[in-house]
Structure 1
Amino acid sequence: MDAVSHLIRLARVDASLDKHCMLSVSTAMDVSYASERTAPFHVLLEGTCQLQVGMHLLELKPGDVVLIPRGESHRIITPGHAHLRGVTESLGDAFTTTLSEGGGDPVIDLFCGHYTFGPGAGSILFKSLPEPVHISFGETPETDAALRMLSTLMREEAAREGEGTAAILSSLCSVLLTMILRTSRGATTDAALWTASTSATITQVVERVLTDPGGDWSIERASRMCAMSRATFIRQFERNTGTTFGAFVTRVRLMVAADLLRTTGLTVGGVAAEVGYLSESAFARAFRQEAGITPARFRRAAAGT
């Protein structure tokens, strides 16, 4: 299994399309903080607009996707000369249709949705991503064609809105997440994603760690695998993933550990050993720091007890 598919399987993410927004000029749509372990996303199909989140003001164009991994409140703006107005919403069976107050010709076509994930692997994955993730799929022919195909299916299903529409749109949103996580500098991104790499040698190491998280993953071993010096490997890994090799190994080990706690009867100590920790207490500290919950509490929550 490739690295991105492996990570998504571990994370156990649910996807939902919330809104189809066709907004006119001089409109502001506020998106409030939803809940813990919820990551909103936006896909701009036509037109241009702005997305304001925290200290960031993003200029969006067709083919742009924004993911907000930690769910921070944000605002979508279609600039104009008039005072900014709000939106009206019409609730449908599968999603909400959102228009500008007072009507007017739409200047953007925007899909909005969210991903939800539980504590453990999902939390670790989304916590590790930059806030926000802004990707311009329209920058290259390959990524532009892929997003156009996906957006066409989303539009057609949204227009149909019949039996099974919610399930189909959810599946298409899951495809979008995969596209985001595997996108490197082949499309324009504001930051390198550790889930994507353009280097075949670095990708080889990433996939080996995923299949053998309990191995002795020293920098020396990884650099030998890539036929690089230690210093060159460190530079190349950080350049391709935006993170250090040590941080990457820790994330993978803890994501796999969360899956083992959920799906096996191994003791906490057994899980710790399986993912390369010599000390159960060291594993518990690392797990709590990344997942925000102890291994024992995570296991009980996953079991519903």
Structure 2
Amino acid sequence: MPRTMPGTSDTGGHPYPRRVSDDGHPALQVRGLVKAFGPKVAVGGVDLTVPAGSFYGLVGPNGAGKTTTLSMATGLLRPDHGQVLVHGRDLWAEPLAVKATLGVLPDGVRLFDRLTGRQLITYAGLLQGLDRSVVAQRVEDLLGALGLVEDAATLVVDYSAGMTKKAALACALVHAPRLVVLDEPFESVDPVSAANIRQILAGYVASGGTVVVSSHVMDLVERMCDHVAVIAAGRVLAAGTVEEVRAGQSLEDRFVALVGGRATGEELAWLRTSSD
């Protein structure tokens, strides 16, 4: 189990307690994951190792298999083949125990949107077995940190896409998980809120937590993450520290070189303005 760092409490005050991992295992190991939907192979043998205490980015083009990989890595989708280890424990052998250590923001998240924001986050905390007084304090902390205080009594169904994303993130963090897996957490989120979220996640990693995040924004991943994997057509093309994967280029240029497909724009010559 994680160890609470000296001078902090496991039972409230902060949205997540300060923790360090002392089990010696990577936070997440994905071994040979395969998933097919009919004749289409969405993930064709993915291997990833996410070091404990890292901020790990997963990047790839649309349809690359990122969401399917993360869904299998967090127990939302059963793989056809392969193994997922979370801090050394087999996810599919101990699903309830391992999932309790995860905080997950899935793609296309569906929430209990007839609850208010405060009720939704409270419900998520109580489902994790936290004491009600602890949940109440953490909910208020998260509402404040994510800029949802003024809308805490509003039904989630009336939230904007960005507000819904922030409420879902709060639900993923309220139980202070050891590993947080976020699929496109900044999509539809305004720049100020995105900056706040990055600060929250950076503080979480600094306290010993581990974050895995998928994103299409190369500059954001390059600035935010210390490790990255490039995935395309259901396979990992490169993985390691950001510096290793960049190989002396910008992450965007390296990504394009690995994935290919950059268009020249010559086929749209008719779109250019002309003085004729």
Q: Rg larger in 1 or in 2?
A: 1
Higher helix share: 1
Q: TM-score of the superposition, structure 2-length normalised?
A: 0.28
**Greater relative contact order, per chain length (Cα 8 Å cut-off, separation 6+):** 2
Q: TM-score of the superposition, structure 1-length normalised?
A: 0.26
